[in-house]
Homo-oligomer: A and B are copies of this chain.
Amino acid sequence: MTTFANTVLDNLEIELPSWAFGNSGTRFKVFGTPGTPRDVREKIADAAMVHRMTGLAPRVALHIPWDRVDDYAALSRYAEDQGVALGTINSNTFQDDDYKFGSLTHTDKVVRQKAIDHHLDCIEVMNQTGSRDLKVWLADGTNYPGQGDIRGRQDRLAESLATIYQHVGTDQRLVLEYKFFEPAMYMTDVPDWGTSYAHVSALGERAKVCLDTGHHAPGTNIEFIVAQLLRLGKLGSFDFNSRFYADDDLIVGAADPFQLFRIMFEVIRGGGLSDDSDVALMLDQCHNVEAKIPGQIRSVLNVEEMTARALLVDGEALAVAQDAGDVLGANEIVMDAFYTDVRPMLAERRAERGLPERPMIAFRDSGYRETIEAERAGGVQSSWGA
């Protein structure tokens, strides 16, 4: 481990989404599980448990209105008591009936204003929680050719975003997420990084792109986009997860660990894990069939492991091989790092820092699951509320 590598690993922080602890599923079925949180405090408690097991997850992102409370200052204190802080605020303009045909892009000024106001509410929440980032993911789009005016929707989107951006504080940021498709099936209003980049560039310095690793067309080279956005100074944050097909929202690194390794390599290469970086790493996943808390533990460990492997790449030797046109040699340097088993080293690091060497087993042995299953009887389990 180089000094830089040690520093990167020491500084690594992965934000957890509150909604990962609630139930999720597909349009066919949402399965419940014993112990699932009934409110945001129980979600935060679970997130804090992930942090206690790993030391990697000091913040919890909220989703408004799913996590709406009366007193956000009190919620912040509750989180602090649990050992974590509140993080990114995620807006939601896809579950109100008014948004059936769009939110920030809607043809009806009244609906647009409602969606804008929701974002201003979210900024107000940020002011109370001390959150830095407002994350905007829009479900806006259309299912049939002709249903909407693509160009008009873009123009309205730009206008709505500009209005919201005026209220983003000088220490705050707006990060705009893009997604290839779903729930819209024909045209999505922010479908690719180019569109997000064009909008945030028009907004200003404190507007950035959010890259969800599951939101691309088949075959897309995601690490290229990472490198490009870092080069352009516009990579705001990651929503980590993994996919085999569509937006599967599986555990990050589960579908293609080598891809995650390549992504982390480009994050490091582009300065995204340097001391002065403001790139935020977050999870955005759905534990449809697996246990949720260990699912999150596994996820942050995967990010850490692939970061550690990426840090092993011998950059100087790599540059020499690249300059020499030594394709196999350059590739081998990268693969050597990927194939090196960093798990013992990371276990040792954890032990040195007073963390469980084997977080998955530590969680299993902690009795936490049995406790919440017993305590959380009754009530309505949290879910997306779709």
Contacts and interface: CB of A to CB of B under 8 A. Distances in A.
Interface string A333-345: 1110011110100
Interface stretch (A58-66, A223-231, A347-355): A223-231
Kindly name the residue among A150, A181, A256, A257 whose own CB sees the greatest number of chain B CB atoms within 10 A: A150
A224 B95 contact: no
Contacts of A147: 289, 322, 327, 330-331
Given A25-B27, A246-B245, A318 B146 contact: yes
A254 B144 contact: yes
Contact of A244 (B186, B250, B331): B186
Contacts of A231: 151, 154-155
Given A289-B143, A322-B107, A323-B107, A250 B185 contact: yes
Contacts of A227: 150-151, 154
A180 to B, nearest CB: 7
A147 to B, nearest CB: 5
Nearest to A94: B28
Interface residues of A, number: 106
Interface of A: 24-32, 94-95, 97, 100-101, 107-108, 139, 142-151, 154-155, 180-183, 185-188, 191-195, 197-198, 216-221, 223-225, 227-228, 230-232, 243-246, 248, 250-251, 254-259, 262, 266, 269-270, 288-291, 294-295, 298, 305, 313, 318-319, 321-323, 325, 327-328, 330-335, 338-341, 343, 360, 384, 386
